[in-house]
A and B are shown apart, each in its own frame.
Chain A
Amino acid sequence: MNDSDIILKVEGLSKAFGNKPVLQDATFTQRRGTLKVLVGPSGGGKSTLLQCINYLIPPDQGRVWLDGRQINPKSRRELSAYRQEVGMIFQDFNLFDHLNALENVRIALLKVKGMAKAAATERAMAELARVGLAGKADLYPAQLSGGQKQRVSIARALAMDPKVLLLDEPTSALDPELIGEVLTVIKDLAQAGITMIMATHQISFSASLADEFLFMEKGRIVEHGSPAELLGKDCCSRTQAFCAKLSELAGDAGQ
C-alpha cells in the first residue's frame, strides 16, 4: 500500500465518560476513495469513534492524521480547517431548523469559507441537484420528509469538498420506505470515489460497497476485515453472528 494512498490515519483513540470507557484504543488507516463500515451493537462505541475522529467529542488519548498531517486539536484554527475537510452526517440530520434547504447547504460556504453569495448559491444548488433535491431548495426542514432532510444534510457536507465523510447511522432514524432514497445517494457517493466511514445496521447494502468492516463492541474494534472475510459462509466471526441476528430480526437480509 502506497503511503500517499492513505487519507486518514487514526491511532489509539480512547475516550471515557467518568470511569466508563466508551472507546478504547481505536486504530486504523483508510485509503482514498474507500468505504469503511462500522458495525456492532448499540453502545459499542461506533458513534463515539466517529465523533472523536473530528473532535466533536474530544478524545482522552490518541492521534489523527488527515492526508499525512497530524491534527493539533488545541489550535482552534487548525481544528476548524480540519473539520471543513471532514464532513459529518448525523443520525437525526441536525439541519439548521431556521434555514431552508438552500440556506442550510450554503451557510458554511458563506460563514466558514467566506465565499461570495452568488458563488455559494450556485455551489449549494449544484449539491442539492446531486442529491435530487433541486426542486426543494426553498423548503424548510420542517417541510421535508426524513429522507429528504438526510439528503440535504449530505449536500451540506459535500458542499465543503470534504476529503472524508463520516456517516453516523444515516438511515437509523428513517421510516423504512425512506431508507432507500438515502442509500441510493450514499451508493452514488461510494461509486464517485468519496472516502467514507459509515456506522450502520444496513449490512447487506454496505457489504456490497465497503472495502472493510470494523466490528465494534464495548468500545473496542474487536474484528476487522473485508466483508467477504468476515461474512463468508464458513466464517465464524463475531461480525457474522451479529449480522445474522440483525437480519433475523429484520426478517430480511436484503435491504
Chain B
Amino acid sequence: MPDILTAIWEALPFMLSGAWVNAVLIVGAMLVGLMLGVPLAVGQVYGCKPVRRVVQIYVWAFRGVPILVQLYLFYFGILAWASSIPWLGWAHLESPFLAAVLVLGLTSAAYQSQIFRGAILSLPAGQFKAARALGMSDATAITTIILPQALRLSIPGWSNEYSILLKDSALAFSVGVMEVMARTRAVASTTHQPLPLSILAGIIFFALTWVGVKALLALEKKVRIPGYSH
C-alpha cells in the first residue's frame, strides 16, 4: 500500500502538468469550435442552398468520422504533407498538439454549430422582422440581435459539449501529445502500478470537468437577461 501512495505522490507533479496540457488543448479546441461553429450555424439557418449544403456535408463528415481516425489523418496525413512544403517550414506544422487542437476543434465546430442552430431557431421570428423593419441589414440583425440572444441560450449545450470534448481530448495521446492519459501510461510502464494511476487520471478529468462546467454555469448566470425567471 505505501508503495502505491509513493508511486502516486511521486507521479503527481508530472500528472498535473499533463492536466495543464489537457486544459490548454480543450480551451483551444472549444475556441476553434466557437469561431467556426457560429458561422456554420448562421450559414445553415440563413444561407442560400449551396451554403446550407456545404455546412451539412461538413457536419456529417466531422460527426461521422471517429476522432481517433481524424487524428491519424491530420497528423500523419495533412499536417505531415503541409510541413513538407518548403515555404510552410517556419510554421512547424508537424506538431501532435496542433493536430489535436485542430481535430478536436473542427469536430467540436460541427457539434457546436448544431447547438447554435437550435438556439437561433428557438428565437421568435419577430426578432429578425423587427430588426429589418428598422432598416438593419441582415448582417447587422444577425450580429446585434440574433447572436447575442442565441449565444446566451447556447451556454447549457456548450457546457455539455465541453464535458464531452474534454474526455475526447484523452485521445490526443495516440499521436504523442503528453496529456494526462499519455503520462498515465508512461508512469505506469515504469512503476507497474496502472490502477492507482488510472484512478488519479480519472480524478484529474473529473476535476477539469467540474471546474469548466461550474465556470460556464457562472457565465450563464452572469449574462442572464433580467426578468426571466428560469
Contacts and interface: CB of A to CB of B under 8 A. Distances in A.
A87 B130 CA distance: 10
- The prevalent SS among residues of A at the interface is mixed
B148 interface: yes
A56 B126 CA distance: 11
Contact of B227 (A81, A88, A141): A141
Contacts of A140: 225-227
A153 B131 CA distance: 12
Interface of A: 54, 56, 76, 80-84, 86-88, 90, 92-98, 100, 107-108, 111-112, 139-143, 153, 156-157, 160
A242 B229 CA distance: 42
B137 A76 contact: yes
Contacts of B135: 80-84, 108, 112, 160
- The prevalent SS among residues of B at the interface is helix
A92 B126 contact: yes
A108 B127 contact: no
Contacts of A97: 127, 149, 225
A76 B136 CA distance: 10
Interface string B118-138: 000000101101111111110
Nearest to A85: B135
Given A90-B126, A107-B134, A139-B227, 8 more contacts: A81-B135, A83-B135, A84-B135, A87-B133, A93-B126, A94-B126, A140-B225, A157-B134
B228 A142 contact: yes
Given A94-B124, A98-B148, A111-B144, A88 B130 contact: yes
B155 to A, nearest CB: 13
A112 B140 contact: yes
Interface of B: 124, 126-127, 129-137, 140, 144-145, 148-149, 152, 225-228
A83 B132 contact: yes
Looking at A80, A81, A90, the one whose CB has the most chain B CB atoms below 10 A away is A80
18 contacts: A81-B135, A83-B135, A90-B130, A92-B126, A94-B124, A94-B130, A95-B130, A96-B127, A96-B131, A97-B127, A98-B152, A112-B134, A112-B135, A139-B227, A142-B225, A142-B226, A143-B226, A143-B227
A167 to B, nearest CB: 12
Contacts of B132: 56, 83
B133 A96 contact: no
A139 B226 CA distance: 8
A82 B129 CA distance: 15
A110 to B, nearest CB: 9
Contacts of B124: 92, 94
A111 B228 CA distance: 26
Nearest to A143: B227
A142 B227 contact: yes
Nearest to A87: B133
A86 B140 CA distance: 18
A92 B127 CA distance: 10
